[in-house]
């Protein structure tokens, strides 16, 4: 059963649940005809879920399925060979409410998106997905090398609001554009003044009474042009109604006399009082209408001079409409706007001084807003660095030093050009991440940030975040992921037994070849099956008694 469609984001009544209680989670995933996956349905649990299996078995394809579900880029090559389309569906649940996202990738045509069974755009799917899932791919930690990502992390931790800076800069930009539009070039300004004066005088000289003048003139021109035929029609109608010698049909006089004759036959008879009253009212109305027709006929006379005058006036108005607007109302509006523009140009010096003063005041507001942002960042940086450093030292970097460096205030007033500095080894000075951090160290910095920045989507996905690490570092990363899993739903693709053993749920991914066709299989590993998989990961494939014992030890210590 589908619930009401959530058009752009998580409903307000669920927002607190999402951001504070972390109860919203992906509980069910169905993948059909995607890559080597034929059809897989998975039911997930809370906490940390690990996907494990041999290289090429299809672990990353499961993560790619979730990525598609939240608006990721699709490609027809993802569709299983020989199939018409791939389909991914996911159910996210919080309490008694749920949202179901669906994505269909056909071989022919564009992909389709659905939210709770209703058609949605890919942008809508991505917007809803952004509130539900945060995916870190195999190279996502590389984003930490970029200034924008580092600045965003610090701002989130320190609660920095940069909107006042953006607002102040927007006002400053608008004032500068207005000053430029005044006409800074003297000759261009004089030319525009001459043109506006001519146009305004032309519109003013026309003496347009209102925006409806042309329609009134059209009606008058039509009456004057047809005066003779109108007059004949009016006099004929009047004759039918009133002239005594007019015969409407054989044996019938004019309409007025006929009506009164009928009224005379019925008056004084009580049984016909109602209809007699109606005929009496009709007779009065007929007399009134006849009087109006007579007056119109008397007034309807040919007037060639007035007709020519009206025609000339309409042509003049039409010329104005052709220049300044399709309608007279547009012409009048053009005249009004042009008058205001002319006033600004004629008062250029004064207006320019006013704008320059406003620009100076806006620049002060920008500097103040930037100073507040920088102050907030500088004040928050030590606590932020201390919190990240604390987690790094728990992630097998016991001597790690983490700092946030700012460019000089004169060069960068708001502190936008900040950099994360790291020293992973004692005796080495802290340097920018891009110069000192290995892939494994970057992965651990990203994990440390995740532990510090708790306000993130409820479902986090790490695809081989443990690449490039092993030993004690792998154990530390596994424990860190499990810790994140206490407040989030976490998915991780891993080749490390130390990480997989920390998972609250382990899903084994394997592939099977049937009649020369490859099929991916995914299932939950528990008990002896999980011990065997952990042992395989430890030994590289051989299930020795030592490997199994070691696997049992890892699982025991992680529980």
My answer on whether 1 and 134 are in the same domain is yes
Distance, CA of 107 to CA of 99 (rounded, Å): 27
My answer on whether 249 and 260 are in the same domain is yes
Angle, in degrees to the nearest 10, between helices 471-484 and 348-394 = 120
Distance, CA of 483 to CA of 477 (rounded, Å): 10
My answer on whether 498 and 531 are in the same domain is no
Determine the pLDDT at residue 515.
87
My answer on whether 84 and 42 are in the same domain is yes
CATH code for position 65: 3.40.50.300
My answer on whether 468 and 547 are in the same domain is no
Q: Is the Cβ–Cβ distance between 4 and 118 less than 8 Å?
A: no
Look at residue 370 and tell me if it is in a domain. no
Determine the pLDDT at residue 293.
82
Look at residue 339 and tell me if it is in a domain. no
Phi-psi region of 411 (alpha: psi -120 to 50; beta: other; left: phi over 0): alpha
Look at residue 365 and tell me if it is in a domain. no
Q: Is the Cβ–Cβ distance between 141 and 446 less than 8 Å?
A: yes
Look at residue 535 and tell me if it is in a domain. yes
Residues 311-333: b if buried by 16+ CB within 10 A, e if exposed? eebbeebeebbeebbeebeebbe
My answer on whether 245 and 123 are in the same domain is no
- pTM over the 0.75 mark: no
Q: Residues 283, 288, 293, CA angle at the centre, nearest 5°?
A: 120
Distance, CA of 96 to CA of 153 (rounded, Å): 33
- Contacts of 117 by beta carbon, 8 Å cutoff, 6+ apart: 2, 5, 100, 102
How many domains does the chain fold into? 3
pLDDT tens track, the chain, 559 positions: 333 333 334 444 434 333 334 456 899 999 999 988 999 999 998 889 999 988 888 888 888 898 899 888 888 999 998 899 999 999 998 777 888 999 999 999 899 999 999 999 999 988 888 778 877 665 555 567 788 888 988 998 999 999 999 999 999 999 999 888 776 677 887 888 899 999 999 999 999 999 899 899 888 887 777 766 777 777 777 777 776 544 444 455 677 777 778 888 878 788 888 888 888 888 888 888 888 888 877 776 777 888 888 889 999 999 999 999 899 999 999 999 999 988 888 888 788 888 999 999 999 999 999 999 999 999 999 999 999 999 888 887 888 999 999 999 999 999 999 999 999 888 889 998 878 766 667 777 877 887 787 666 788 888 766 766 777 778 888 888 888 888 888 898 888 898 999 999 999 999 888 888 888 899 999 999 999 999 998 887 777 888 888 888 888 887 6
Look at residue 26 and tell me if it is in a domain. yes
Q: Is the Cβ–Cβ distance between 14 and 94 less than 8 Å?
A: yes
Helices and strands, number each (H, E), in the chain: 19, 15
What are the DSSP E strand ranges found in 424-467? 431-432, 459-463
My answer on whether 557 and 494 are in the same domain is no
Q: Is the Cβ–Cβ distance between 449 and 139 less than 8 Å?
A: no
SS3 311: helix
My answer on whether 217 and 130 are in the same domain is no
Stated as kind and residue range, the H or E segment containing 1 is none
Residues 27-64: b if buried by 16+ CB within 10 A, e if exposed? bebbbbbbbbbbebebebebbbbbbbbeeebbbbbbbb
Strand order in the sheet with 459-463: 133-136, 459-463, 489-493, 48-52, 505-514, 517-525
Phi then psi for residue 396, to 5 deg, are 65, 30
- Full residue range of the structural domain in which residue 534 is found: 526-559
Look at residue 178 and tell me if it is in a domain. no
Q: Residues 346, 349, 354, CA angle at the centre, nearest 5°?
A: 115
Q: What would the two tokens of residue 106 be?
A: 């056909």
My answer on whether 512 and 532 are in the same domain is no
Look at residue 418 and tell me if it is in a domain. no
My answer on whether 499 and 558 are in the same domain is no
Phi-psi region of 153 (alpha: psi -120 to 50; beta: other; left: phi over 0): alpha
293, 326, 359 - which closes a domain = 326
My answer on whether 22 and 82 are in the same domain is yes
Strand partners, 85: 106
Determine the pLDDT at residue 440.
67
My answer on whether 532 and 518 are in the same domain is no
Q: What is the CA radius of gyration of the chain?
A: 42
């Amino acid at each position: 059963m589908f619930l009401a469609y959530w058009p752009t984001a998580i409903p307000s009544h669920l927002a607190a649940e999402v951001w504070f209680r972390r109860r919203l989670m992906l509980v069910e995933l169905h993948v059909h005809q995607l890559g080597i996956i034929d059809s897989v349905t998975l039911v997930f649990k809370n906490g940390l879920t690990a996907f494990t299996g041999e290289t090429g078995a299809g672990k990353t394809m499961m993560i790619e399925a979730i990525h598609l579900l939240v608006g990721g880029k699709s490609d027809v090559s993802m569709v299983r060979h020989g199939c018409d389309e791939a389909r991914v569906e996911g159910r996210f649940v919080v309490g008694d409410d749920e949202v179901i996202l669906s994505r269909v990738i056909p071989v022919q045509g564009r992909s389709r998106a659905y939210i709770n069974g209703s058609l949605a755009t890919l942008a809508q799917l991505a917007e809803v997905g952004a509130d539900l899932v945060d995916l870190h791919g195999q190279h996502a930690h590389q984003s930490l090398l970029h200034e924008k990502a580092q600045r965003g992390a610090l701002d989130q931790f320190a609660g920095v609001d940069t909107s006042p800076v953006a607002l102040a800069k927007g006002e400053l930009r608008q004032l500068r554009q207005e000053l430029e539009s005044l006409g800074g070039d003297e000759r261009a300004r004089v030319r525009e003044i001459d043109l506006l004066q001519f146009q305004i005088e032309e519109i003013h000289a026309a003496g347009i009474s209102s925006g409806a003048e042309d329609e009134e003139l059209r009606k008058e021109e039509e009456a004057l042009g047809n005066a003779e035929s109108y007059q004949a029609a009016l006099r004929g109608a009047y004759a039918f109604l009133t002239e005594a010698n007019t015969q409407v049909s054989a044996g019938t006089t004019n309409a007025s006399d006929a009506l009164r004759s009928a009224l005379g036959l019925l008056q004084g008879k009580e049984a016909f009082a109602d209809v007699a009253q109606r005929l009496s009212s009709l007779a009065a109305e007929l007399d009134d209408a006849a009087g109006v027709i007579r007056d119109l006929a008397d007034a309807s006379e040919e007037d060639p001079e007035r007709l020519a005058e009206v025609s000339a006036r309409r042509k003049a108005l039409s010329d104005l409409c052709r220049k300044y607007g399709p309608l007279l109302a547009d012409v009048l509006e053009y005249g009004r706007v042009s008058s205001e523009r002319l006033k600004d140009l004629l008062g250029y010096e004064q207006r320019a001084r006013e704008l320059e003063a406003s620009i100076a005041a806006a620049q002060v507001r920008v500097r103040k807003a930037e100073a507040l942002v920088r102050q907030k960042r500088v004040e928050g940086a030590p606590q932020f660095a201390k919190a990240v450093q604390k987690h790094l030292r728990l992630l097998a970097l016991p001597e790690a030093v983490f700092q946030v460096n700012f460019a000089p205030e004169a060069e960068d007033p708001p502190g936008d050009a900040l950099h994360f500095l790291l020293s992973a080894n004692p005796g080495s000075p802290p340097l920018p991440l891009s110069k000192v951090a290995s892939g494994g160290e970057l992965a651990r910095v990203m994990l440390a940030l995740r532990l510090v920045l708790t306000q993130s989507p409820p479902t986090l996905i790490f695809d081989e975040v443990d690449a490039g690490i092993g030993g004690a570092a792998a154990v530390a990363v596994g424990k860190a992921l499990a810790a994140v899993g206490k407040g989030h739903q976490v998915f991780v693709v891993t080749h490390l037994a130390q990480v997989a053993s920390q998972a609250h749920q382990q899903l084994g991914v394997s592939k099977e070849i049937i009649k020369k066709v490859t099929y991916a299989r995914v299932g939950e590993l528990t008990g002896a099956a999980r011990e065997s998989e952990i042992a395989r990961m430890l030994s590289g494939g051989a299930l020795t008694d030592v490997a199994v014992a070691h696997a049992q030890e890892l699982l025991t210590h992680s529980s």
